[in-house]
């Protein structure tokens, strides 16, 4: 076998990467379009079995941990802690082919390229495939990586039930992925997740690569405003306690804050309902949801504070208000040195890159609590994701995987270039 003279000459097999993405994308094909491969279903089982086969073909030792995460490890030349990459292969309903799957298949491609070259790096290189990232069938999302990061206890995770009454524990056993290894067994020195952007920024700026330096935190609220339902014809404007109009004004004010002050970075009122809900009745009760996201804890708190101040003013004006936090994630800042390394390697590979934020959640944000972590994004055409129309140009998929290969190789051969955690 011809050996490349320098690591820089190593290249992934782009055709194999794209072929495997297509093959994986056919598992769980949904007759309505796209694929539906919810966590721990028969379709997930079939996809997992394919991934295990490819990992073995790539020369990796495969282990399954107790939450069903797949660990594929290509042994290095030393006993340095492994460098890890990975993502997820469970999907939402009628998903595209790339969300999560791209990072996993590209990781396998990196292992296969390294083992075929016959020159193993100093540190081992691992691909992690996390259980139930999407959180569609079992809540919360990011479950496999949460357990690795001890954000959720293993026993609690195993006891979670889906809406159809199945527990994670039972489903893992049923599909043959209830492993015996501790989720903390693999203690990587670094984690890099490759993923599609799922947003429009890279395409709009004609860039190939995003180096993700932070994941936005989110704060979700369900807000209820109670006023007085009354006759729409006989109640003068000045004497109304119109819960509907008040809710709309508050919703607009929150959105305007994001537009004008940029705090939070984005705000979305995704649902709003009025009761009793009739054309000729002043609404007595209004309920809306607000999704606020920011990369700064401070800004997210300020946005929450403004919401509460506004509700307090409404209480004083005679309304009754309730606000319930339905989900909250702190922003996660990735490792600056690791982002710097990714940026350097992207420049060496001639790839146009910029640093950016992720608006969506990813396993890497949990891994950031385990070891220095960061992410690489490739463009999503028109920013479409969680949709069968999800698309990234094949050339860009190959370029992203090429960057992953060379970044992991650099880390695995010179882990000292990017600081290792002191506990290891
Ligand atoms: Zn994903």
pLDDT tens for the 424 residues of the chain, in order: 444 446 778 999 999 999 999 999 999 999 999 999 999 999 999 999 999 999 999 999 999 999 999 999 999 999 999 999 999 999 999 999 999 999 999 999 999 999 999 879 999 999 999 999 999 999 999 999 999 999 999 999 999 999 889 999 999 999 999 999 999 999 999 999 999 999 999 999 999 999 999 999 999 999 999 999 999 999 999 999 999 999 999 999 999 999 998 889 999 999 999 999 999 999 999 999 999 999 999 999 999 999 999 999 999 999 999 999 988 889 999 999 999 999 999 999 999 999 999 999 999 999 999 999 999 999 999 999 999 999 999 999 999 999 999 999 999 998 777 754 444 3
The distance of Cα 56 from the centroid of its chain, to the nearest Å, equals 26
Spatial separation of the C-alpha atoms in residues 86 and 105, rounded to whole Å: 9
Cβ-based neighbour number of residue 141 at 10 Å:
20
User: Exposed/middle/buried for 276, CB within 10 Å: 0-12, 13-18, 19+?
Assistant: exposed
How many A from CA of 229 to the centre of ligand 1?
Answer: 44
Whose CA is closest to 364, among 168, 203, 148? Answer: 148
Neighbour tally for 92: CB within 10 Å = 20
How many whole angstroms from 342 Cα to the centroid of ligand 1?
Answer: 20
Distance 137 CA to ligand 1 centre (A): 15
Cα–Cα nearest to 409, from 81, 8, 86 = 8
Dist. CA 38 → ligand 1 center (Å): 13
DSSP class of 181: B
Contact 142, 363 (CB under 8 A): yes
Using alpha carbons, select from 224, 412, 239 the residue that is nearest to residue 321.
Answer: 224
CA distance 398 to 389: 19
Cα(361) to centroid of ligand 1, in Å? 8
Ligand 1 center to 211 CA (angstroms): 16
User: Residue 272 C-alpha to ligand 1 middle, in angstroms?
Assistant: 28
Q: State the distance from the centre of ligand 1 to the C-alpha of 188, rounded, in angstroms.
A: 20
- How far, in Å, is the centroid of ligand 1 from the Cα of 320? 40
Ligand 1 midpoint to CA 195 (Å): 7
Q: Taking Cα atoms as reference points, which of 325, 340, 333, 256 lies closest to residue 295?
A: 333
C-alpha 65/C-alpha 193 separation (Å) is 19
- 376 alpha carbon to ligand 1 midpoint, in Å? 12
Distance from residue 52's CA to the centre of ligand 1 (Å)? 19
Kindly tell me the sign of the dihedral angle through the C-alpha atoms of 175, 180, 182, 188: negative
- Rounded distance between C-alpha atoms, residue 368 and residue 134, angstroms: 18
Predicted structure pTM score: 0.87
Whole-angstrom Cα Rg for the chain = 24
């Amino acid at each position: 076998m011809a050996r490349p003279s320098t690591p820089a000459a190593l290249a992934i097999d782009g055709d194999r990467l794209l072929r495997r993405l297509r093959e994986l994308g056919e598992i769980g094909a949904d007759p309505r379009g796209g694929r539906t491969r919810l966590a721990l279903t028969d379709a997930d089982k079939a996809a997992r079995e394919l991934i295990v086969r490819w990992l073995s073909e790539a020369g990796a030792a495969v282990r399954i941990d107790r939450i069903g995460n797949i660990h594929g490890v290509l042994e290095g030349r030393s006993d340095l802690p492994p460098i890890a990459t990975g993502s997820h292969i469970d999907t939402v309903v009628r998903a595209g082919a790339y969300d999560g799957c791209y990072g996993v298949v590209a990781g396998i491609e990196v292992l296969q390229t390294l083992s075929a070259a016959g020159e193993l790096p100093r540190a081992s290189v691992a691909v992690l495939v996390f259980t139930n990232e999407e959180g569609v069938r079992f809540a919360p999302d990011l479950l496999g990586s949460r357990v690795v990061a001890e954000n959720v206890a293993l026993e609690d995770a195993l006891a979670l039930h889906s809406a159809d009454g199945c527990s994670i524990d039972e489903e893992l056993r049923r599909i043959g992925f209830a492993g015996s290894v501790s989720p903390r067994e693999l203690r990587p020195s670094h984690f890099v997740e490759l993923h599609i952007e799922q947003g429009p920024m890279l395409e709009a700026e004609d860039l190939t690569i995003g180096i993700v330096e932070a994941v936005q935190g989110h704060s979700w609220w369900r807000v209820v405003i109670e006023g007085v339902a009354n006759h729409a014809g006989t109640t003068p404007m000045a004497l109304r306690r119109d819960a509907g109009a008040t809710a709309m004004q508050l919703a607009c004010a929150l959105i305007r804050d994001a537009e004008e002050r940029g705090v939070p970075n984005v705000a979305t009122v995704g649902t709003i309902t009025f009761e009793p809900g009739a054309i000729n009745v002043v609404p007595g009760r209004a309920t809306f949801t607000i999704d606020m996201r920011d990369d700064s804890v401070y800004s997210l708190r300020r946005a929450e504070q403004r919401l509460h101040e506004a509700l307090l003013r409404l209480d004083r004006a005679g309304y009754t208000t309730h606000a319930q936090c339905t989900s909250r994630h702190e922003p996660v800042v990735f490792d600056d040195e690791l982002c710097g390394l990714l940026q350097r390697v992207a420049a060496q590979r001639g790839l146009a890159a910029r640093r950016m934020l992720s608006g969506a959640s990813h396993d890497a944000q949990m891994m950031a609590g385990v070891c220095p972590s960061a992410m690489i994004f490739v463009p999503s055409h028109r920013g479409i994701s969680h949709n069968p129309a999800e698309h990234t140009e094949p050339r860009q998929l190959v370029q992203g995987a090429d960057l992953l290969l060379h970044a992991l190789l650099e880390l695995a051969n010179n882990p000292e270039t990017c600081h290792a955690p002191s506990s290891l």
